[in-house]
Amino acid sequence: MAEILTSATRLTHIPLANGVLIPRLGLGTFRARDDNVRKAVLCALQCGYTHIDTASIYKNEVEIGEAVRSSGIERASLFITSKVSPFEQGISASFIGQVQPNWTRKCRAIGVSNYTEKHLNELISSSEIKPMVNQVEVHPWLTQTQLRNFCNLHGIVVQAYSPLGVGSLLKDSTVQGVASKCKRSPAQVLLRWGIQNDMVVLPKSVHQEYIVENGDIFGFSLSVEDMASLNSLDRGHHFCWSAEGVL
Protein backbone atom coordinates (compact mmCIF):
# COMPACT_ATOMS: atom_id res chain seq x y z
CA MET A 1 0.00 0.00 0.00
CA ALA A 2 1.33 3.43 -0.96
CA GLU A 3 2.24 5.70 1.94
CA ILE A 4 1.37 9.39 1.94
CA LEU A 5 4.24 11.70 0.94
CA THR A 6 3.77 15.09 2.59
CA SER A 7 5.85 18.25 2.26
CA ALA A 8 7.57 17.28 5.53
CA THR A 9 8.27 13.63 4.70
CA ARG A 10 9.50 14.60 1.22
CA LEU A 11 12.57 16.12 2.88
CA THR A 12 13.41 12.98 4.85
CA HIS A 13 12.01 10.10 2.76
CA ILE A 14 12.05 8.79 -0.81
CA PRO A 15 9.09 6.88 -2.27
CA LEU A 16 9.95 3.44 -3.61
CA ALA A 17 8.33 2.02 -6.74
CA ASN A 18 5.65 0.30 -4.65
CA GLY A 19 4.77 3.47 -2.76
CA VAL A 20 6.59 2.57 0.47
CA LEU A 21 8.56 5.50 1.89
CA ILE A 22 12.20 4.79 2.72
CA PRO A 23 14.07 7.17 5.06
CA ARG A 24 16.88 9.05 3.31
CA LEU A 25 19.18 8.52 6.31
CA GLY A 26 20.03 5.18 7.87
CA LEU A 27 22.56 3.90 10.39
CA GLY A 28 25.12 1.54 8.90
CA THR A 29 26.19 -1.36 11.13
CA PHE A 30 28.90 -3.17 9.14
CA ARG A 31 31.41 -4.78 11.53
CA ALA A 32 29.50 -3.47 14.57
CA ARG A 33 28.90 -6.35 16.95
CA ASP A 34 27.55 -7.28 20.38
CA ASP A 35 27.03 -4.43 22.86
CA ASN A 36 28.59 -1.88 20.50
CA VAL A 37 25.84 -2.36 17.92
CA ARG A 38 23.10 -2.50 20.57
CA LYS A 39 24.18 0.85 22.00
CA ALA A 40 24.69 2.40 18.54
CA VAL A 41 21.24 1.39 17.31
CA LEU A 42 19.54 2.50 20.52
CA CYS A 43 21.34 5.86 20.34
CA ALA A 44 20.33 6.31 16.70
CA LEU A 45 16.69 5.51 17.40
CA GLN A 46 16.60 7.83 20.39
CA CYS A 47 17.92 10.76 18.36
CA GLY A 48 15.50 10.33 15.50
CA TYR A 49 16.83 7.75 13.05
CA THR A 50 14.10 5.49 11.68
CA HIS A 51 16.25 3.39 9.33
CA ILE A 52 18.86 0.78 10.25
CA ASP A 53 21.00 -1.10 7.73
CA THR A 54 22.30 -4.60 8.41
CA ALA A 55 22.91 -7.94 6.68
CA SER A 56 22.92 -11.57 7.70
CA ILE A 57 26.67 -11.69 7.07
CA TYR A 58 27.19 -8.87 9.61
CA LYS A 59 26.12 -11.30 12.36
CA ASN A 60 24.35 -8.55 14.32
CA GLU A 61 20.68 -8.90 13.37
CA VAL A 62 19.78 -10.38 16.77
CA GLU A 63 21.40 -7.51 18.67
CA ILE A 64 19.70 -4.96 16.41
CA GLY A 65 16.36 -6.60 17.12
CA GLU A 66 17.07 -6.40 20.87
CA ALA A 67 17.90 -2.69 20.57
CA VAL A 68 14.71 -2.01 18.61
CA ARG A 69 12.58 -3.77 21.22
CA SER A 70 14.29 -1.98 24.13
CA SER A 71 13.77 1.40 22.44
CA GLY A 72 10.02 1.16 22.88
CA ILE A 73 9.50 2.41 19.31
CA GLU A 74 6.88 0.57 17.29
CA ARG A 75 8.51 -1.76 14.76
CA ALA A 76 6.05 -0.64 12.08
CA SER A 77 7.44 2.90 12.23
CA LEU A 78 10.99 1.73 11.46
CA PHE A 79 12.64 0.70 8.20
CA ILE A 80 15.19 -2.11 8.47
CA THR A 81 17.33 -2.88 5.43
CA SER A 82 18.95 -6.30 5.49
CA LYS A 83 20.77 -8.33 2.89
CA VAL A 84 20.96 -12.03 2.14
CA SER A 85 24.38 -13.48 1.37
CA PRO A 86 24.81 -15.24 -2.00
CA PHE A 87 25.58 -18.36 0.02
CA GLU A 88 22.10 -18.23 1.56
CA GLN A 89 20.09 -17.83 -1.64
CA GLY A 90 19.82 -21.51 -2.55
CA ILE A 91 16.84 -23.29 -0.97
CA SER A 92 16.08 -26.95 -1.48
CA ALA A 93 12.78 -27.66 -3.23
CA SER A 94 11.33 -29.33 -0.13
CA PHE A 95 11.50 -26.06 1.82
CA ILE A 96 10.34 -23.58 -0.81
CA GLY A 97 6.64 -23.95 -0.02
CA GLN A 98 7.21 -23.44 3.69
CA VAL A 99 9.71 -20.58 3.61
CA GLN A 100 8.81 -18.42 0.66
CA PRO A 101 5.35 -17.26 1.86
CA ASN A 102 6.90 -15.91 5.07
CA TRP A 103 9.41 -13.89 3.06
CA THR A 104 6.74 -12.32 0.86
CA ARG A 105 4.63 -11.28 3.91
CA LYS A 106 7.51 -9.78 5.90
CA CYS A 107 9.34 -7.78 3.17
CA ARG A 108 7.96 -4.30 2.46
CA ALA A 109 10.24 -3.93 -0.57
CA ILE A 110 12.95 -5.95 -2.29
CA GLY A 111 16.24 -4.83 -3.76
CA VAL A 112 19.83 -5.72 -4.57
CA SER A 113 23.32 -4.71 -3.52
CA ASN A 114 26.51 -4.11 -5.51
CA TYR A 115 24.71 -4.49 -8.85
CA THR A 116 26.25 -2.86 -11.90
CA GLU A 117 24.21 -1.61 -14.86
CA LYS A 118 24.95 -4.90 -16.63
CA HIS A 119 23.68 -6.93 -13.67
CA LEU A 120 20.55 -4.79 -13.39
CA ASN A 121 19.78 -5.15 -17.09
CA GLU A 122 20.01 -8.93 -16.81
CA LEU A 123 17.80 -8.98 -13.71
CA ILE A 124 15.16 -6.61 -15.09
CA SER A 125 14.89 -8.56 -18.33
CA SER A 126 14.12 -11.80 -16.49
CA SER A 127 12.04 -10.63 -13.52
CA GLU A 128 8.41 -9.77 -12.97
CA ILE A 129 9.27 -7.25 -10.24
CA LYS A 130 12.16 -4.84 -10.64
CA PRO A 131 14.41 -4.27 -7.62
CA MET A 132 13.34 -1.17 -5.73
CA VAL A 133 16.77 -0.34 -4.31
CA ASN A 134 20.38 -0.92 -5.28
CA GLN A 135 22.85 -0.53 -2.42
CA VAL A 136 26.31 0.41 -3.70
CA GLU A 137 29.37 2.37 -2.60
CA VAL A 138 28.89 6.07 -3.44
CA HIS A 139 30.72 9.21 -2.33
CA PRO A 140 32.36 12.17 -4.12
CA TRP A 141 35.42 10.09 -5.07
CA LEU A 142 33.08 7.47 -6.57
CA THR A 143 29.98 9.30 -7.78
CA GLN A 144 28.64 6.36 -9.84
CA THR A 145 26.81 8.89 -12.04
CA GLN A 146 26.06 6.54 -14.93
CA LEU A 147 24.78 3.81 -12.62
CA ARG A 148 22.67 6.29 -10.64
CA ASN A 149 21.16 7.66 -13.85
CA PHE A 150 20.28 4.12 -14.94
CA CYS A 151 18.67 3.41 -11.56
CA ASN A 152 16.67 6.65 -11.69
CA LEU A 153 15.45 5.78 -15.18
CA HIS A 154 14.12 2.45 -13.92
CA GLY A 155 12.66 3.71 -10.64
CA ILE A 156 15.37 2.12 -8.49
CA VAL A 157 16.45 4.07 -5.40
CA VAL A 158 20.21 4.11 -4.75
CA GLN A 159 21.38 3.43 -1.21
CA ALA A 160 24.90 4.74 -0.65
CA TYR A 161 27.10 2.74 1.68
CA SER A 162 30.47 4.11 2.81
CA PRO A 163 29.20 7.66 2.06
CA LEU A 164 32.15 9.06 4.02
CA GLY A 165 34.67 7.04 2.03
CA VAL A 166 35.42 4.93 5.15
CA GLY A 167 36.50 8.20 6.79
CA SER A 168 39.14 9.12 4.21
CA LEU A 169 37.07 11.88 2.61
CA LEU A 170 36.81 13.73 5.90
CA LYS A 171 40.37 14.93 5.24
CA ASP A 172 39.78 15.96 1.63
CA SER A 173 40.63 19.67 1.24
CA THR A 174 37.62 20.41 -0.99
CA VAL A 175 35.25 18.72 1.46
CA GLN A 176 36.82 20.61 4.35
CA GLY A 177 36.52 23.89 2.43
CA VAL A 178 32.81 23.37 1.80
CA ALA A 179 32.34 22.37 5.44
CA SER A 180 34.05 25.53 6.65
CA LYS A 181 31.91 27.66 4.34
CA CYS A 182 28.70 25.96 5.54
CA LYS A 183 29.78 25.88 9.20
CA ARG A 184 29.15 22.15 9.21
CA SER A 185 31.37 19.11 9.71
CA PRO A 186 32.95 17.33 6.72
CA ALA A 187 30.78 14.29 7.49
CA GLN A 188 27.60 16.36 7.39
CA VAL A 189 28.65 17.87 4.05
CA LEU A 190 29.32 14.45 2.53
CA LEU A 191 25.99 13.09 3.73
CA ARG A 192 24.14 16.18 2.53
CA TRP A 193 25.80 15.73 -0.89
CA GLY A 194 24.29 12.25 -1.04
CA ILE A 195 20.87 13.48 0.06
CA GLN A 196 20.84 16.24 -2.58
CA ASN A 197 21.79 13.66 -5.20
CA ASP A 198 18.54 11.90 -4.23
CA MET A 199 20.14 8.91 -2.55
CA VAL A 200 19.67 7.13 0.75
CA VAL A 201 22.86 7.51 2.81
CA LEU A 202 24.02 4.90 5.33
CA PRO A 203 26.86 6.26 7.51
CA LYS A 204 28.25 3.74 9.97
CA SER A 205 29.34 4.68 13.48
CA VAL A 206 29.21 3.25 16.99
CA HIS A 207 30.13 6.58 18.61
CA GLN A 208 27.27 8.59 20.07
CA GLU A 209 28.66 12.00 19.11
CA TYR A 210 29.07 10.97 15.47
CA ILE A 211 25.68 9.29 15.28
CA VAL A 212 24.05 12.50 16.54
CA GLU A 213 26.16 14.67 14.21
CA ASN A 214 25.40 12.50 11.17
CA GLY A 215 21.69 12.74 11.90
CA ASP A 216 21.72 16.54 11.76
CA ILE A 217 21.73 16.94 7.97
CA PHE A 218 18.25 18.16 7.15
CA GLY A 219 18.59 21.72 8.44
CA PHE A 220 20.89 23.03 5.72
CA SER A 221 21.58 22.63 2.02
CA LEU A 222 24.58 22.85 -0.27
CA SER A 223 24.71 25.46 -3.01
CA VAL A 224 24.89 24.59 -6.69
CA GLU A 225 28.54 25.65 -6.61
CA ASP A 226 29.31 23.46 -3.61
CA MET A 227 27.62 20.47 -5.23
CA ALA A 228 29.62 21.03 -8.41
CA SER A 229 32.87 21.22 -6.43
CA LEU A 230 32.11 17.93 -4.69
CA ASN A 231 30.97 16.25 -7.92
CA SER A 232 34.28 17.23 -9.53
CA LEU A 233 36.18 15.06 -7.04
CA ASP A 234 35.11 11.86 -8.81
CA ARG A 235 38.07 9.60 -9.53
CA GLY A 236 36.32 6.22 -9.72
CA HIS A 237 37.95 5.16 -6.46
CA HIS A 238 36.52 2.19 -4.54
CA PHE A 239 37.40 2.00 -0.86
CA CYS A 240 35.42 -1.22 -0.58
CA TRP A 241 35.16 -3.49 -3.62
CA SER A 242 34.00 -3.34 -7.21
CA ALA A 243 31.48 -5.75 -8.73
CA GLU A 244 32.59 -4.94 -12.27
CA GLY A 245 34.39 -8.26 -12.54
CA VAL A 246 31.40 -10.30 -11.41
CA LEU A 247 29.73 -12.07 -14.33
Tell me 204's DSSP state. B
Bridge pairing between strands 27-28 and 51-53: parallel
| Sequence-ordered list of residues with C-beta below 8 angstroms from that of 23, at least 6 positions apart, any chain | 12, 13, 49, 50, 51, 79, 200
Is residue 50 within 8 A of residue 24, CB to CB? The reply is no
- DSSP tally for the chain: helices H, then strands E: 10, 9
Q: How far is CA 242 from CA 98, 113, 237, in A?
A: 35, 11, 9
Polymer length of the chain: 247
Torsion angle in degrees (nearest 10) through CA of 7, 11, 15, 16: 180
Active site residue 161: no
Q: Which of 49, 58, 115, 161 is catalytic?
A: 58
| Sequence-ordered list of residues with C-beta below 8 angstroms from that of 73, at least 6 positions apart, any chain | 45
Q: Would you please indicate which residues are annotated as catalytic (active-site) residues?
A: 58
